[in-house]
Amino acid sequence: MTEKILFPRETVIKTNFFNIGQDWEVPIPGFFIIAPLRKIKSISEFTEEEANEFIKLLRKVRDGMREVLKIEEVYLFQNEDSQSGFHFWVFPRHLWMEKFGRRIQSVRPIIDYAKENMLSDEVFNKVKDHVKKMKEYMSDFSK
């Protein structure tokens, strides 16, 4: 099954080693993906420079989500069996998600709910607003 690309150009920041953008398949504001520019499978394949930049980016993104977007909690995911190679999810916890619970098993139902019920201009505008705010916040990122 081919996923629908909703946000193909919603990039927060592109560095020498990574790209951070809104997840392009799921309409959840503040659902960011950190992906390396080179094809790798695992975090263990990072060079020292990539590893250093990755943790700095992750910390800066998370700080921005808390300070600018008012997202108090996130889930962090990386799986090594993905066909698309290494990518790291920074998955926000919004109040509307509470009805799904607070366990790892709640993530798939949340994603399915968002795909089925949140395809609206209001949500898309919020996604774009979150990206814009995070772009501004990340603009002073030093590698």
Please tell me the predicted confidence (pLDDT) of residue 81. 83
Q: Residue 77 falls within a domain, yes or no?
A: yes
Q: Residue 79 falls within a domain, yes or no?
A: yes
Q: Residue 2 falls within a domain, yes or no?
A: no
Q: Residue 4 falls within a domain, yes or no?
A: no
Q: What CATH number is associated with residue 131? A: 3.30.428.10
For every one of its 143 residues, what pLDDT tens digit does the chain have, with 9 covering 90 and above?
445 666 667 899 999 999 999 998 899 999 999 999 999 999 999 999 999 999 999 999 999 999 999 999 999 999 888 888 899 999 999 999 999 999 999 999 999 999 999 999 999 999 999 999 999 999 999 75
One-letter amino acid at 94 equals H
Q: Residue 80 in contact with residue 41, Cβ under 8 Å?
A: yes
Domain count, the chain: 1
Tell me the residue length of the chain: 143
Q: 69 is in which domain, residue-wise?
A: 11-138
Q: Residue 103 falls within a domain, yes or no?
A: yes
